[in-house]
């Protein structure tokens, strides 16, 4: 096997200064959610570790995750793709195509067996043997299984890859699901979001690249440093929530003044992501900041959790929401109870009358 | 006038009674604050900046009531240990439980003129088991939402799985809300059945939750399950 270049080798080759290199490492360190005293470790890894080989495949999806990925600001997506990872195969970004391209995938898998990182976007399509999503003449599930079992780690990018996404919304005609079932024993990092935040995407792949291990994961397999907080708990509009100041409609004074969007169906209280603290596109904004309630795009079934502008799912007219149903049922119960009480009184009177009659009959 | 010979049956320990009334208070407070959390109100159309409708406070009251309720279970469990009358679990392992339940149910459906007298009737006991099941759901879903502010801390580790089991935290909110309404439906039925037993069947239900005892003329069918009664003076 030929010697593979490290990040530092590549920087030297391109004539970039040591200063630029160290700056990149510092940016990477903070991006991966590590404390600043880890900088030396990151520098060390970037100097010595060969660039990680990455295979990036796409299943049942819209490639919106890639649209997000190429907008990563720190590190720049171009830096990442060209000088921080060795991207050997990518359905979307590769210039090559056809049989030679597919042959290159086989070569890569063979050559770097157990050493490459597999990035997966898109759901696995399972119905009718997976024929609804084909790639290179095979079903996507076949490609996924083949590539995953030889990988060092799998990164599931986007809600589709994690739990099926929009394809898996009811009635799920293609039987789409997350990729978890097809990855065998290879460790999987779930990076949900529709799409995930660009810096989260680059941060996760760089963590595996530099440290050779998957980042600390929570119970749902998501990296803790990016999915350890509720959006609601990190939201800059939280003080408005606590003070009871809510926008009642999308065009009222409260909405203009930037009050809490809770009543407009904001999913912040149920959603774990970094939108509240990292924000999007180098901290420029995020949905809530732009006045749109969070739709909970990193949640597994967010397409099916009721209308996105409603606090709780409704059942449609004329039934209404759970509070209306509850109030009607409580009223019905109260009426039923009153009716039962009246009937009981009648029954008791009848019983006493019968008993008296029987007693009378006995005495005679 | 006919002389009435009443006997005193000791049923509910003070622990159970205190627990019961804490539970009543907690459910009322939790239900009202819970509705406010789901649908915050605007007080009298005044701009919220100038009103005291603070979600922070509403939530705090909700949480305090929830913790008080959970803590009160210590009393319930202690009473269960020390006093026979507190052991209200429906005796599903005893054959006569089923025939007695059907007997009571038929009477409540107004198909039978009366049912056999009980200190703690089997149908009511089943409904209490149902209530505790609902309360358990509320506790699990409630803590699952509450503690997931810090998913890696002990609370998140203890209750975080609930969100996974229910298929997402949105569903946890949903279930918590629905079961809250079911508890209110239970409460309406419960209050009615207790008052009915008091007025129609001379069972002394309502007073027993204050005094712990029932003064009864008749001999209830399940008298052997508690301490022997005393003669009333």
Of B40, B113, B168, the CB nearest to A351: B113
- Looking at CA atoms only, how far is residue B74 from chain A in angstroms? 31
pLDDT given at position A1: 44
Q: Are A175 and A84 in the same domain?
A: yes
Burial of A291 (C-beta count, 10 Å sphere; 0-12/13-18/19+): middle
Chain A residue nearest residue B195, CA to CA: A341
> Shortest CB distance from A334 goes to which of B40, B145, B188?
B188
| Size of the A and B interface in Cβ pairs below 8 Å | 118
Average pLDDT over residues A316-320: 67
According to DSSP, the β-strands at A188-191 and A176-177 are unpaired
Residue A130: band (very low, low, confident or very high) from pLDDT cuts 50, 70, 90:
confident
As a whole number of angstroms, the distance between CA A292 and CA A267 comes to 11
Residue B125's alpha-carbon distances to A28, A291, B22, B88, in angstroms, are 62, 51, 19, 6
Within 13 Å, how many C-alpha atoms sit on residue B101's CB side? 14
A62 known ligand binder = yes
Q: How far is A204 from chain B (nearest CA, A)?
A: 19
Which structural domain range is residue A78 located in?
7-227
Q: Is residue A217 part of a domain?
A: yes
* Cβ atoms of B118 and B221 closer than 8 Å: yes
Helices and strands (H and E) in chain A: how many: 14, 9
Nearest to A299 among B35, B110, B170 (CB): B170
The pairing of strands B230-231 and B7-10 is antiparallel
**Which pair of tokens denotes residue A93?**
């970004």
Judge contact between A285 and A243, C-beta under 8 A. Answer: no
* Beta-bridge partner residues of A87: A54
Residue A235 pLDDT greater than 90, yes or no: yes
Q: What is the pLDDT along chain B (233 residues), one digit of tens a residue?
A: 456 678 888 888 999 999 999 999 999 999 999 998 988 887 666 777 677 668 888 999 999 999 999 999 999 999 999 988 888 888 888 878 888 888 888 888 888 777 888 888 888 889 999 999 999 999 999 999 999 888 888 988 899 899 889 888 888 998 999 999 999 999 999 999 998 888 887 777 888 888 888 888 878 887 777 888 887 66
CB A129 within 8 A of CB A139: yes
pLDDT at residue A2, rounded to an integer: 58
One domain for residues A52 and A147: yes
- In A122-222 the beta strands, taken as DSSP E runs, fall at 124-125, 134-135, 138-139, 153-157, 176-177, 188-191
CATH of domain B7-231: 1.20.950.20
Nearest CA-CA distance, residue A219 and chain B, Å = 8
- Could you tell me if A219 lies within 8 Å of chain B, comparing CB atoms? yes
Contact (CB, 8 A) for A51 and A6? yes
How much helix, strand and coil, in percent to the nearest 5, is found in chain A? 50, 15, 40
Q: Is the pLDDT assigned to residue A213 strictly greater than 70?
A: yes
Residues A107, A221, single domain; the answer is yes
pLDDT band at A36; cut points 50, 70, 90: confident
Q: Do B39 and A218 touch (CB under 8 A)?
A: no
Q: Nearest Cα to A52, choosing from A1, A115, A104?
A: A115
A119 is in an annotated binding site: no
Contacts of A266 in chain B (CB under 8 A): none
> Which residue among A290, A309, A338 closes a domain?
A290
Q: In this complex, do B40 and A334 lie within 8 Å of one another by their Cβ atoms?
A: no
A256 pLDDT more than 60: yes
Chain B residue set in contact with A, beta carbons under 8 Å: 35, 38-40, 42, 48-49, 51, 53-56, 58, 108, 110, 113-114, 145, 148-149, 151-152, 157, 160-161, 164, 167-174, 177-178, 181, 184-185, 188-189, 192, 196, 200
> Do residues A155 and A206 share a domain?
yes
DSSP one-letter code for A272 = B
Q: In chain A, which residues have their Cβ closer than 8 Å to the Cβ of B152?
A: 218, 224, 228
Q: Does one domain contain both A28 and A174?
A: yes
Pairing of strands A117-121, A153-157: parallel
Residue B3's CB: how many other CB atoms inside 10 A? 4
Residue A130: closest CA among A177, A190, A192: A177
Q: Which residue has the tokens 């009246």?
A: A342
- Domain regions of chain B by residue span: 7-231
Helix B14-38 to helix B169-201 angle, to the nearest 10 degrees?
130
Chain B positions touching A243 (Cβ under 8 A) are 48-49, 54-56
List the beta bridge partners of residue A155: A119, A189
User: Between chains, do A272 and B53 touch, taking CB under 8 Å as contact?
Assistant: no
- Residue A239 to residue A244: CA distance in whole angstroms: 9
Do residue A66 and residue A198 come from a single domain?
Answer: yes
Say whether both A243 and A208 belong to one domain: no
Place of tokens 């996105």: A308
From the list A270, A343, A345, the residue facing B170 with the nearest CB is: A270
Average pLDDT over residues A129-150: 90
Buried b (16+ CB within 10 A) or exposed e, B65-94: bbeebeebbebbeebbeebebbebebbeee
**Does one domain contain both A31 and A122?**
yes
In a domain, A161, yes or no: yes
CB contact under 8 A, A330 and B181: yes
A156 pairs with which residues across the strands? Answer: A120, A190
The residue of A190, A245, A295 whose CB has the most chain B CBs within 10 angstroms, and thus the best one to mutate to test that interface, is: A245
Please check whether residue B19 is in contact with residue B72, taking contact to mean a CB–CB distance below 8 angstroms: yes
Distance of CA A49 to the CA centre of its chain: 30
pLDDT bin (cut points 50, 70, 90) of residue A32 is confident
Query: What's the rounded Cα separation, in Å, for the pair B61 and B55?
Result: 10
**Domain end residue (candidates: A193, A227, A261):** A227
Assess if residue A302 is contained within a domain.
no
Pair (A82, A204) in one structural domain: yes
For the record, the structure tokens of B61 come out as 């009251």
Segment A296-310, tens digit of pLDDT: 999 888 888 878 888
Q: Percentage of chain A surpassing pLDDT 90?
A: 36
Question: Which chain B residues contact residue A323 at CB under 8 A?
Answer: 35, 38-39, 181
pLDDT score of A364: 46
User: Number of structural domains, chain A?
Assistant: 3
What gap in Å lies between CA A327 and CA B31, rounded to an integer? 12
Residue A233 with chain B: CB contacts under 8 Å: 149
Report how far residue A308's alpha carbon sits from residue A169's, in angstroms, rounded to the nearest whole number: 14
pLDDT for B6? 81
Distance from CA of B27 to the nearest CA of A (A): 15
Q: Are residues A154 and A73 in the same domain?
A: yes
Of residues B49, B172, B181, nearest to A245 (C-beta) = B49
Query: What pLDDT score was predicted for residue B52?
Result: 66
Which tokens is A98 given?
């056809």
Could you tell me what percent of chain A has a pLDDT over 70?
A: 97
The reply, when asked if residue A65 is annotated as ligand binding, is: yes
- Closest-approach residue (CA) in chain B for A299: B168
| Domain membership flag for residue A300 | no
Is the pLDDT at A75 greater than 90? The verdict is no
Last residue of a domain, one of A194, A227, A260: A227
Distance CA(B31)–CA(A334), nearest Å, equals: 18
Residues 320-349 of A with CB under 8 A from B: 322-323, 325-326, 329-330, 333-334, 337, 340-341, 343-345, 347-348
Span B118-170, pLDDT tens digits: 888 888 889 999 999 999 999 999 999 999 888 888 988 899 899 889 888 88
Q: Is A125 annotated as a binding residue?
A: no
- Rounded Cα distance between A14 and A60, Å, is 37
Q: What is the pLDDT of residue A316?
A: 62
| Residue A277 and residue A221 share a domain | no
Work out the mean pLDDT of chain A and round it to a whole number: 87
How high is the ipTM of this complex? Answer: 0.82
Q: Are residues A206 and A250 in the same domain?
A: no
A163 vs B contacts (CB less than 8 Å): none
Token pair 């007080």 is found at B43
Which of A272-276, A333-337, B71-75, B100-104 is the least confident region? B100-104
Q: Which residue has the higher pLDDT, B50 or A340?
A: A340
């Amino acid at each position: 096997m030929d010697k593979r270049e490290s990040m530092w080798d590549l920087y030297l080759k391109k004539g970039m200064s040591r200063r630029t290199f160290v700056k990149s490492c510092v940016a990477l360190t903070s991006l991966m959610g590590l404390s600043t005293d880890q900088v030396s470790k990151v520098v060390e890894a970037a100097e010595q570790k060969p660039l990680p080989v990455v295979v990036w495949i796409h299943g049942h999806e819209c490639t919106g995750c890639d649209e997000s990925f190429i907008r990563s600001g720190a590190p720049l997506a171009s830096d990442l793709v060209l000088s921080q990872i060795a991207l050997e195969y990518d359905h979307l970004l590769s210039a090559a195509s056809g049989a030679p391209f597919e042959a290159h995938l086989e070569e890569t898998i063979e050559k770097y067996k157990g050493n490459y990182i597999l990035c997966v976007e898109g759901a696995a399509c399972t119905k009718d043997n997976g024929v609804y999503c084909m790639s290179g003449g095979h079903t996507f599930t076949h490609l996924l299984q083949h590539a995953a079992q030889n990988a060092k780690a799998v990164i599931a990018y986007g809600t589709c890859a994690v739990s099926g996404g929009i394809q898996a919304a009811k009635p799920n005609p293609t039987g789409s699901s997350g990729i978890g079932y097809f990855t065998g024993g290879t460790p999987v990092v779930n990076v949900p979001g529709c799409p995930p935040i660009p810096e989260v995407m680059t941060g996760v792949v760089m963590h595996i690249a530099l440290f050779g291990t998957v980042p600390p994961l929570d119970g749902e397999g998501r990296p803790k440093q990016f999915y350890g907080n509720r959006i609601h708990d990190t939201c800059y509009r939280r003080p408005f929530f606590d003070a009871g100041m809510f926008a009642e409609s999308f065009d009222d004074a409260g909405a203009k003044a930037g009050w809490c969007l809770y009543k407009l169906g904001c999913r912040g209280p149920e959603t774990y992501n970094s939108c509240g603290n990292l924000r999007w596109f180098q901290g420029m904004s995020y949905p809530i900041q732009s006045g749109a309630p969070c739709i909970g795009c990193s949640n597994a079934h967010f397409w099916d959790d009721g209308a996105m502008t409603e606090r709780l799912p409704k059942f449609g007219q004329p039934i209404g929401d759970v509070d209306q149903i509850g109030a009607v049922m409580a009223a019905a119960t109260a009426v039923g109870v009153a009716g039962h009480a009246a009937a009981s009184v009648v029954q008791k009177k009848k019983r006493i009358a019968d008993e008296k009659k029987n007693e009378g009959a006995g005495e005679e | 006038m006919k002389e009435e010979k009443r006997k005193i049956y000791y049923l509910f320990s003070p622990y159970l009674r205190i627990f019961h009334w804490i539970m009543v208070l907690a459910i009322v407070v939790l239900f009202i604050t819970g509705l406010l959390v789901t649908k915050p109100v605007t007080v009298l159309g005044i701009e919220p900046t100038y009103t005291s409708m603070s979600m922070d406070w509403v939530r705090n009251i909700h949480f305090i009531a929830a913790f008080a309720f959970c803590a009160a279970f210590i009393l319930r469990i202690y009473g269960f240990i020390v006093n026979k009358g507190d052991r209200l679990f429906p005796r599903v392992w005893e054959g006569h439980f089923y025939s007695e339940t059907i007997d009571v149910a038929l009477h409540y459906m107004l198909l039978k003129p009366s049912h056999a007298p009980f200190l703690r009737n089997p149908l009511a006991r089943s409904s209490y088991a149902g209530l505790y099941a609902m309360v358990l759901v509320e506790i699990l879903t409630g803590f699952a939402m509450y503690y997931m502010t810090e998913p890696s801390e002990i609370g998140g580790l203890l209750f975080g799985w609930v969100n996974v089991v229910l298929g997402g935290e949105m569903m946890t909110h949903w279930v918590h809300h629905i079961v809250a309404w079911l508890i209110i439906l239970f409460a309406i039925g419960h209050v009615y059945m207790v008052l009915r037993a008091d007025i129609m069947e001379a069972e002394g239900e309502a007073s027993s939750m204050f005094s712990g005892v029932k003064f009864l003329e008749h001999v209830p069918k399940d008298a052997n399950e508690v301490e022997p009664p005393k003669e009333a003076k």
